[in-house]
Structures are given as C-alpha cells and as structure tokens.
Amino acid sequence: MDEQARIMQALGGVSLAGHSVQGGMALPPPHGHDGTDDGRKQDIGDILHQIMTITDQSLDEAQAKKHGLNCHRMKPALFSVLCEIKEKTGLSIRGAQEEDPPDPQLMRLDNMLLAEGVSGPEKGGGSAAAAAAAAASGGASDNSIEHSDYRAKLTQIRQIYHTELEKYEQACNEFTTHVMNLLREQSRTRPISPKEIERMVGIIHRKFSSIQMQLKQSTCEAVMILRSRFLDARRKRRNFSKQATEILNEYFYSHLSNPYPSEEAKEELAKKCSITVSQGVGSTITVSQVSNWFGNKRIRYKKNIGKFQEEANLYAAKTAVTAAHAVAAAVQNSQTNSPTTPSSGFQMKDEEFQLDSAESKNTLLTNMFTGSSGSFNLSNSGDMFLSMQSLNGDSYQGAQVGANVQSQVDTLRHVISQTAGYSEGLGGNTMYSPHSLNTNGGWQDATTPSSVISPNEGPRSVHSDTSN
DNA sequence: ATGCATGATTAGAA
DNA sequence: TTCTAATCATGCAT
C-alpha cells in the first residue's frame, strides 16, 4: 500500500493524505475542480487512488467502480498517459528490432524446398499421375520405375508438408485473432495501445514461423533421406531372386555359343524374371539389368570358366531335358505334318542320330540327362558336333517345327559340345574350353561366325533365327 | 571381421 | 550404341 501511494504521488504529483477516497468515484468530487490547478490535481489523485485500490475491494464493488472509471471524462487522457509510460518502460523493449531481417536459414530451407519441388506450384496430380507419367514416358527406360516411386514418395511428402503448413497457418490466424480480441477487450481496462497489439501479433507470428521452420526442416530432412534412398543410391545392389537368376542362367548356358540376347530376348527375359519375382518379394528386373547381368556373366564366365563348369553342366542338363522332350514332341509333330524328310536325314529319332556309335550316343544321352560329367568316351565328338550343326541347318527349315524348338536344339547341341569337351580333355577336371570361345578370349560368333556355328545363327540375333 | 559373390558403374574400343 | 574390362560397393555366408 505504501508503494502504491508512492507511485501515485509520482504520477499525480499530489499527496493523498487526509482525503477520504472511500466515498465512491461515481460521485463527482465534492468541490473546486473548476479552473484551479489544485482541484485538477486532486481529481487525478482521486482517480489514481481508486484505481490502485480496486484490487482490494470485493468483486461487486470493484465492478461498479470500474464502470465509474470507464465513464470518467479523464479516462482517455489517463489511458494515453499510462500507455506512454508503459511504452517507455521495459515492456516495449522487445519490440525494438521489429523489422525482421529474413532469416538466412529459413531462406535456405525455402529455397531447397522450392528446388525439390516440395513447396511451390503443384505439378502433376498426385502419385498416381506421377507414376503414370513416368510409365508412359518410355516404359522400358532404365530407372523409370524407381524414379516414379521416388516421385510418388515426394508427392506424399509434399502433401504432408502442405497440410501441416495449412494447419499451422490456420492455428496461427485463429490464435492471433483470439489474442487480438482479448487485448482489445482488455484495452478497455488496461493501458494497451494498438501499437502494442500489433507487436503482440508480430510475436505470435514469429513463434509460429519458428514452428513452421521446424516443419520445413524436417521436410527437408525427409526429402534428403528420400533422395539418398532412391537417386543417390543407384549403386545400391539387391540380389536378384533365385528364380530370376535361374532364368538368366538357363538362357545363358543354352545360348553359350552366342550369349548375346537380342533386345527382344532381353525384354522377354526381363519380363519373365519380373513375373517370377513378383510372386514373391522383390523388385522388377529391367532390360538394362538383364544387359548388366549378361555383361557380367560373359566376362566372369570367360575369366574363370573352370569355376562355372559345374553350373554350366547343371543348367545345360536341366535345359536339355526339356529341350529333348520338346524336340522329340516337335519332331514327332513335324513328322506327321510334313511328309518330306529333311535332306540331311537328321531327326531326333534315335536311329537317325548321326553319331558314330550307338554306344557313345547312349552314354552321351545318359550323361546329359543325369548332368554328370562322367568319363564316357566319345570317339569323334567333332563329327558329332558338326552333325548336330545340321540340326540348325537349312535342312531343318522345311519341317513345321515350333519356333522355340530351334533354341532348344541349340541347348542340346551345346550340352553335347560341352560334354564332348570334357571327354576330349585330359581328365575329369580339365578346364572346359568351349568351341565358341576363340583364343583371343572372345566369343567367336560374337564377331566372326565360325564354321562350327550354323550360318543362320548370326551374332545378336538369337531369337530372330528361330523364325526361320 | 572377413572374403567371396554379384549387381552397377565407368572408361574406352569397335 | 553396345560391348569389354576394370572397378566399386553392397549382400551374404563364414
């Protein structure tokens, strides 16, 4: 109470001692406020005293007094004085550097979000559209699938970002209007200048913008993670599924003489692998991945044929079984369909197999189908191999055999050539040297078709030759 | 941890 | 362009 009196003294410059203030403010001061300075000072002192004691009174009393004060003719003047005082005290200090210089970090975040396409104008209508667009723009294009995935995820992030941003803005606006209303309300009883309200709004906005910055920051982080996951991690390797590898290996070993699948063949393989893969967990395999695989396979096979021997046998044997069956079926079919026997006399009928001895043939077949690289002997495998070539020759074209038979025949041929290779060698563990590999270390028919290879099996047209 | 297997990338040749 | 050869970097089994 002493303190209050002291302040009032300072404000009003008058001593309140001896005045009865309990009389109530609603009544005009009893005397002499007209003209004399003394009277005015006393008046102000009265008001101030009433203001200061208002908290000591009961709610009803205070309410009544407040109303009286609000209606007092001196109220506007007092209000502005108090505002001025308040302005000069510490309360207004924090408004000093109001003009916010654009936060460099915020600008950086904004720029990045803009660059990444998170903020800014929306292009494309959502993930589905993005995926569709990516798919449409050249389906077989290498990383279009991954890219569309990336775009879909980015769109997701963008959507989250925008909804959050909107939420914040809405909350900010709501809160601002609420505070403004509150302050306006209070300004009737408290010295709050419009300027101060403005400043308060500024403070609120700053608070909310710091939240926004956090949102932007985390969005940036999310985008960065996404980038590193999808775009920068191109090197990231995922092993193909077992089935996919099997399919590729089957093709490789059944086309060992010319393991250069045509574009169509690659597409087909990619499709096949993807279909198989999609049944389990895994990603699709693209044409370029098939190309990579064949590139790696060729070079690695060539580098260390010995290492791949077992694998080669395995796959050759595996395909040979199906090939033999298919060929047998096809030949049977062709026999019934076409009365003309191929001029070479070669057919997949045992009797007409142009092997030198029935014995070697039997052994060969046995070994072929069991996949063993056993120690059977082939008297003149060269002849046999050549004979087998005739299978691919013109003579065969007359027959009405399914197109795929040709490649299966190819398989058979290579199985035989491989097996022959083993038997020709010094022992069971001799390195197999395929006919198709020349001394320079290249696949012969990849560059110069050898006489061993049928004339119509040109380089890089493995599939096209099946149409003959 | 370590080594091998393997998919991806790169430079350079044809 | 596609291919080879070398290399990188990861996955996986030990």
Q: CA at A260, C1' at B4: how many angstroms apart? A: 27
Question: What percent of chain A lies above the pLDDT cut of 90?
Answer: 11
Q: When comparing pLDDT for A147 and A112, which is higher? A: A112
Is residue A334 over pLDDT 60? no
Is residue A43 over pLDDT 90? no
Using pLDDT thresholds of 50, 70 and 90, give the confidence band for residue A296.
very high
Q: Residue A300: its pLDDT value, please?
A: 94
A271: CB within 7 A of chain C nucleic strand: no
**A79-88, A122-131, A293-302: which range is least confident on average?**
A122-131
Cα–Cα distance measured from residue A53 to residue A47, given in angstroms and rounded to the nearest whole number: 10
- Nearest protein residue by Cα to C1' of nucleotide C10: A237
Overall average pLDDT of the A358-375 stretch: 35
Is residue A163 over pLDDT 80? yes
Q: CA at A118, C1' at B14: how many angstroms apart? A: 45
Segments making up each domain of chain A, as ranges: 40-91, 104-119+145-234, 242-330
Cα–Cα distance measured from residue A415 to residue A434, given in angstroms and rounded to the nearest whole number: 11
What CATH number should be reported for the domain whose range is A242-330? 1.10.10.60
Is residue A260 over pLDDT 90? yes
Q: Residue A174: its pLDDT value, please?
A: 92
Q: CA at A263, C1' at C1: how many angstroms apart? A: 12
A260: CB within 7 A of chain C nucleic strand: yes
Q: Residue A146: its pLDDT value, please?
A: 54
Average model confidence (pLDDT) for chain A?
A: 62
Q: Residue A269: its pLDDT value, please?
A: 92
- Nearest protein residue by Cα to C1' of nucleotide C6: A299
Overall average pLDDT of the A24-46 stretch: 55
Using pLDDT thresholds of 50, 70 and 90, give the confidence band for residue A228.
low
Measuring from the CA of residue A298 to each C1', which nucleotide is nearest? C4
A296: CB within 7 A of chain B nucleic strand: yes
Q: When comparing pLDDT for A432 and A103, which is higher? A: A103
A238: CB within 7 A of chain B nucleic strand: yes
Using pLDDT thresholds of 50, 70 and 90, give the confidence band for residue A291.
very high
Residues 6 or more apart in contact with residue A344 via CB below 8 angstroms:
A390, A393, A395, A396
Q: Residue A440: its pLDDT value, please?
A: 58
On chain C, which bases lie within 7 A of the protein's CB atoms? 2-12
On chain B, which bases lie within 7 A of the protein's CB atoms? 5-10
Q: When comparing pLDDT for A260 and A200, which is higher? A: A260
A439: CB within 7 A of chain C nucleic strand: no
Q: Residue A437: its pLDDT value, please?
A: 62
Q: Residue A321: its pLDDT value, please?
A: 75
Overall average pLDDT of the A276-300 stretch: 80
- Nearest protein residue by Cα to C1' of nucleotide C5: A299
